[in-house]
Amino acid sequence: MKMIKPAILGTLMVPAVMFAAGAANAEENTTTMEATYLTETPEGTFHSDALTGNQVKSSVEDDEDIGTITDLVIDEDGQINAVVVGVGGFLGMGEKNVAIEWDSLELTKHENGEDYVITVKASQDALEAAEEYNREE
């Protein structure tokens, strides 16, 4: 019987030691990194309001205004996938939203050096004929 006790005790101790080691690793991995902060806008970046509310111009229709950016579609990595543009309608009535993929847009600095001119290679008729974007919440 004396030989069985150490064997049973040893068998019970292995899971306990493994649990304690796992708990120590779990505590080590749950430490979060402290937040970092900006004091100014980094070069080559811009704020979302540089896009939202701005007109989108048609590069195929002599830079005519063809819609207003109402929203941005951003992925989990923080990259802009598309801009939502309100097109058609009159005084906000009958307007529909169309999502234009980010890569389809061209952003250039306005001559004032602060604002962006946003153009797309599409006509107003093409945007009005495009399928409406339905935002799923």
Q: Residue 87 contacts by C-beta under 8 Å, 6 or more apart in sequence?
A: 66, 67, 95, 96, 97, 98, 124, 127, 128, 130
Residue 12's pLDDT is: 47
Name the DSSP class of 48: G
Strand order in the sheet with 55-58: 96-101, 80-87, 64-74, 55-58, 116-120, 105-109
β-pair partners for 121: none
pLDDT band at 21; cut points 50, 70, 90: low
Neighbours of 112 (CB within 10 A): 6
Residue 29's pLDDT is: 55
Residue 33's pLDDT is: 86
CATH 2.30.30.240 is right for the domain spanning 48-123: yes
pLDDT band at 28; cut points 50, 70, 90: low
Q: Is 31 or 105 the better-scoring residue by pLDDT?
A: 105
The model scores a pTM over 0.85? no
pLDDT band at 116; cut points 50, 70, 90: confident
